[in-house]
Homo-oligomer: A and B are copies of this chain.
Amino acid sequence: MTKKQPIIAVIGGGDCNQEEARLAEEVGRELAKLGATIVCGGLGGVMEAACKGASAEGGVTIGVLPGDDRRAANPHVQIPIVTNLGYARNVTVVKSSQAVIAIGGNYGTLSEISHALQSGIPVIGLDTWTISRNGKEDKTIITAKSPAEAVDKALKLAKESNDQD
């Protein structure tokens, strides 16, 4: 593991449907294959599926937990970060990444998308929120049609961010 390895956030609901879980697991697998570390909120649903996929390929998985107990982490989290900050930990999840892949998700995911955009961290969306102002869609969320495309875009954008370092 080296500091120059990209860290990609995978965000989405703590509960999710089967299709979202499938997408997340494949995203996790692809990221790990290409040498990226995953950071997520550490719980179930999309977070667990992404960690499962990454672990299966020998990737590193970080779970930034909202509560006080590292045992709340899903079984595929290797590095549990215990914050006890509640949803304020969402900011840490995205700020620790160089790009974010959002899959489905509820209001917590939308808060993470917002914090990422606020911080200038690119967001790639797979079947996730769209946002509009004054009746006009804000296209800053980059859309992807498949896990492979999402991972490809995330790693390219993360690389640009690393090259600026």
Integer count of this chain's copies in the complex: 4
Task: Give the residues from 94 to 134 in chain A that come closer than 8 angstroms, CB to CB, to chain B.
Answer: 95-96, 106-108, 110-111, 114-115, 117-119, 127-134
A71 at the interface (CB under 8 A from B): yes
A50 at the B interface (CB under 8 A): no
Chain B: minimal CB distance from A27 (Å)? 19
Name the B residues within 8 Å of A84 (CB-CB): 85-88, 91-92, 95
Question: Are A114 and B110 in contact, CB atoms less than 8 angstroms apart?
Answer: yes
A9 CB to nearest chain B CB (Å)? 11
For chain A residues 63-91, which have a beta carbon within 8 Å of chain B?
A: 64, 68, 70-71, 73, 75, 77-88, 91
- B132 contacts A132, C-beta separation under 8 Å: yes
Contact, CB under 8 Å: B117 / A78: no
B residues near A132, Cβ cutoff 8 Å: 129-132
Does A62 count as interface, using CB distance less than 8 angstroms?
A: yes
Q: Determine whether the beta carbon of A106 is less than 8 Å from that of B118.
A: yes
Collect the chain B residues with CB atoms within 8 Å of residue A73's CB. Answer: 3
A88 contact set on B, CB distance < 8 A: 83-85, 88, 91-92
Contacts A107-B117, A131-B131; A68 near B80 (Cβ below 8 A): no
Cβ distance A80 to chain B, nearest Cβ, rounded Å: 7
Shortest Cβ gap from A138 to chain B (Å): 8
**Which B residue's beta carbon lies closest to that of A81?**
B96
**Can you list 6 A-B contacts (CB < 8 A)?**
A39-B81, A68-B86, A82-B96, A110-B114, A110-B117, A130-B133
User: 5 shortest A-B CB distances, which residue pairs?
Assistant: A111-B114, A84-B86, A107-B118, A110-B114, A82-B95
